[in-house]
Amino acid sequence: MLGGNDRKKLKSKVIKIRGILTKGYEDYANSRFLLSIKDKSKRQIALEKNEIAIGEWKLIQSKLSHNGINLSEYIQERAYTFLNRSFFLFRMEALGITKVKLFKGLKSSSGWKEFNEFCRVLCEGEDEGYLFLFKQLTDFYSKELPGLFLDDLADRSFGIPGRILYEILQEWNDPEIENIFSDDSTAGWIYQYWNDPDREEINAKVQNKGKISGKEIASATQLFTERYMVEWLLQNSLGNLWLGICKKNNWNSSADTILKGLQEKRKKHNERIEKGEITEDTALSISETEENWKYYMEREIGEEEWINSPLSIREAKVLDPACGSGHFLIYSFELLFYFYKEEESIKKQIDPTYKEISDIEIAKSIIENNLFGVDLDPRAVQIAGAGIYMMARRFGYPEISRMNLVATRPAIGTGDKETIKEFLDDLNTETGIPPEIGKGLVEVLQKSDVLGSLLQIQLEIKTLLNDWGFFGDETKEEVIYEQLKKYLSGHDSSQDLGVFTLGNQLNRGLRLLKILEDKYDVVVANPPYLGAGKIEADVLKIYQNLYPLGKEDLLTIFMIRATSLVKERGFLSMITMHNWMFLSNFSKFREHYLDSFRLETLAHMGRGGGFTDYADFDKVMQTTMFIFTNQKPGEAFNSRFSRLNSYTNRDKQINLLNQTPKRMFSFDQKKFSDIEGSPMIYWWREEFREWYLKADKVGKNVRKGAETGNNERFIRFQYEVSSKNISIILQNSLESVNLS
């Protein structure tokens, strides 16, 4: 896990490399395609002297038009892709999964020395032959990981000078950052640090009363989740799913022994803290066997819960609907691999003739069957795909036929006018519906670049049919949906970053529909946090029309969408801002959520809850982590809470580990509704809570009681009245006391 100093060095390095690459590509574009000549006709005449450059420029312009981006955005895409490629080539060497060492040490590496011996002429340029080597390696690895290493014709036309490439490789060879290449989280931090300049520009725009556009949402909201938070969220959701599978099969899991031992060890540790033998910031020691359960919060798993569990971990499905660089999916891979191994061991104990599957088969199965992710940003999905694949490559060469990741930018199903007309004509022929319904459907698809996993295509079809009077016509709904899939299968040719295109990999549009129509055992996410007031009006309208109950913030919209993606009694596991728990403008959302879904456990992190690299966020944002299950809250069920909002980030992590008793609370979520607006005040003592419920409130309606009607006439100060005419009625007595 990267420490603060390592991250600081990495951030500085990424910002520097971003500058070098951006300028390098800009200079190349200006010189190769004569972009410094502003007059287009003069530039065209000058370009005609170089037919190859003309052909390359046409390819690039066609790609820009198809993807709806400008040259500056394309340069950023090429620069970022090169950064990722170079990083992952270094990472593969660090993990020992490459046959030849070429990059660590550059000219002192064994691979370069051998290359120089046989191809000396190629090593005489300013790049020492590394431009040639780099191209050969990216072509080779494009067979394994096309999403990261495969270039189309336009990309091949947009090269980078050898001297720039060699300069970047030298930057990665800095001894100060040598240890970053073996850490699973580094790629995610790189993605975040690359976005930092864009985020700063967006924040400045918002401070000047500007609004965030659909294209800017990914850069504005992407925040990398710290490892311990990822572990807490998944150990208490995916971990619970595994325990349910074991109960359903009546298997004796090693988790039973591990958790019992952890419980006893934690009890003794906290007793020592209470006695003053050790300080509260002393972390519980964790053994290697306890590592995958160290943040687990004990809970009873009733029969009604595990009865819905899958029979095998092979059937488990985990979705991150805002996957970013894939941190949750990468740790899910680790946990799933651990559970697969235990399941294989249990089956072998039950039946000695059972043939256990190999590690490489497990890795292949996890990628193809268990992990699913959606994001707006293709750059993020590019990293997520590469990161997950690196996990599998540690065990050999898995022949992976599909990866269930998809980026929704550019928008799904966009095409030229003729293609869209063909789809509308086919739709009308097959269903007889008015063309306006088909056009409405195309418009919905064209919003996928800002909706991502918020897209609900089957609901949109139903709504469009209802608007035109076709109420409850399920046959038409089904036919339209099938026609849509047919259209997408042939007309969604956008470059598919971050995924495999081998075997039976579905194309991007179909893959998105399949992912979003399915149900999952675990949905886990750090969704975007973005208040409605900061979003451009046209984009905000799209969100609020689909999710009116969550209209205050993107995070609550994602919370609503996530529940429709979770199986019955499945787990919803998220880290969000804590606003939705308390503020009055979230009261309707909160009341609905608490009434509809059961809160298992919640860690109230407060300020400094995981974004310590960003002081501005840490000062403003207060976060919470929680696990809901997709079931109504039952009778006499108490949720478990950890109140950590007064601790520093390091102490929050320690207290999640120690489960410090004085920071742990148990509360029935149905009681939140006792207070108007259902604020989630879980930490009050019961006697104080009872007193509060009975007490008169400041906001209570004021009523007029008895009055004189004329104070000047009937009321006197004490000194204006003779003491002989004043008496006090004693309590419980009618006896008068004379004051004279």
Distance CA 445, CA 412 (A): 6
Which has the closest alpha carbon to 604: 673, 527, 683? 683
Q: Indicate the range of 44-48, 310-314, 625-629 predicted with least confidence.
A: 44-48
CB–CB of 88/388 below 8 Å?
no
Amino acid letter at 112?
W
3-state secondary structure of 150: coil
Tell me what pLDDT residue 648 has.
81
Would you call 152 exposed, middle or buried from its count of C-beta atoms within 10 A (0-12, 13-18, 19+)? exposed
Structure tokens at 504: 């039976």
Tell me what pLDDT residue 574 has.
98
Distance CA 63, CA 74 (A): 9
Tell me what pLDDT residue 740 has.
44
Distance CA 216, CA 214 (A): 5
Query: Sheet holding 598-607: strands in order across?
Result: 404-407, 371-375, 318-320, 520-525, 566-577, 622-629, 598-607, 639-643, 664-667
Distance CA 193, CA 12 (A): 9
- Residue 188's φ and ψ, nearest 5 degrees, are -65, -40
Tell me what pLDDT residue 238 has.
98
Cis bond upstream, residue 197 (ω within 30): no
3-state secondary structure of 732: coil
Distance CA 269, CA 658 (A): 8
Tokens 């309707």 locate to: 588
Between strands 727-729 and 664-667, the pairing is: unpaired
3-state secondary structure of 604: strand
Distance CA 494, CA 410 (A): 7
CB–CB of 339/366 below 8 Å?
no
> What confidence tens digit (pLDDT) does each residue in 684-715 have?
999 999 999 998 877 666 666 777 777 877 78
Tell me what pLDDT residue 736 has.
44
Specify the DSSP class assigned to residue 627: E
Tell me what pLDDT residue 501 has.
39
3-state secondary structure of 628: strand
- Say how many C-beta atoms besides its own lie within 10 A of residue 207's C-beta: 8
Q: Given pLDDT bands bounded at 50, 70 and 90, which one contains residue 329?
A: very high
> What confidence tens digit (pLDDT) does each residue in 119-133 have?
988 888 888 899 999
Distance CA 222, CA 613 (A): 13
Q: Given pLDDT bands bounded at 50, 70 and 90, which one contains residue 727?
A: low
* Vertex 589: Cα angle to 588 and 591 (nearest 5): 65
Distance CA 137, CA 109 (A): 15
Counting Cα atoms < 13 Å in the Cβ hemisphere of 519 gives 12
Name every residue whose Cβ is closer than 8 Å to that of residue 447 and which is 6 or more positions away in sequence.
411, 455, 542
> What confidence tens digit (pLDDT) does each residue in 209-261 have?
999 999 999 999 988 899 999 999 999 999 999 999 999 999 999 999 999 99
Structure tokens at 657: 């580990």
- Residue 416's φ and ψ, nearest 5 degrees, are -75, 175
- Mean pLDDT for the stretch of residues 359-363: 97
Which has the closest alpha carbon to 492: 505, 477, 479, 480? 505
Rounded alpha-carbon distances, angstroms, from residue 599 to 285, 297, 329, 520, 629: 29, 13, 23, 18, 7
Tell me what pLDDT residue 508 has.
86
CB–CB of 172/103 below 8 Å?
yes
CB–CB of 487/413 below 8 Å?
yes
CB–CB of 465/473 below 8 Å?
yes
Structure tokens at 279: 């300080």
> What confidence tens digit (pLDDT) does each residue in 660-677 have?
999 999 999 999 999 999
Name every residue whose Cβ is closer than 8 Å to that of residue 561 and which is 6 or more positions away in sequence.
321, 453, 454, 456, 547
| Chain centroid to CA 524 | 7
* Vertex 324: Cα angle to 320 and 327 (nearest 5): 70
Amino acid letter at 336?
L
> What confidence tens digit (pLDDT) does each residue in 421-436 have?
888 888 888 888 888 8
- Mean pLDDT for the stretch of residues 519-542: 96
Amino acid letter at 529?
Y
- Mean pLDDT for the stretch of residues 575-596: 96
Specify the DSSP class assigned to residue 283: P
Sign of the Cα torsion 585, 591, 597, 602 reads positive
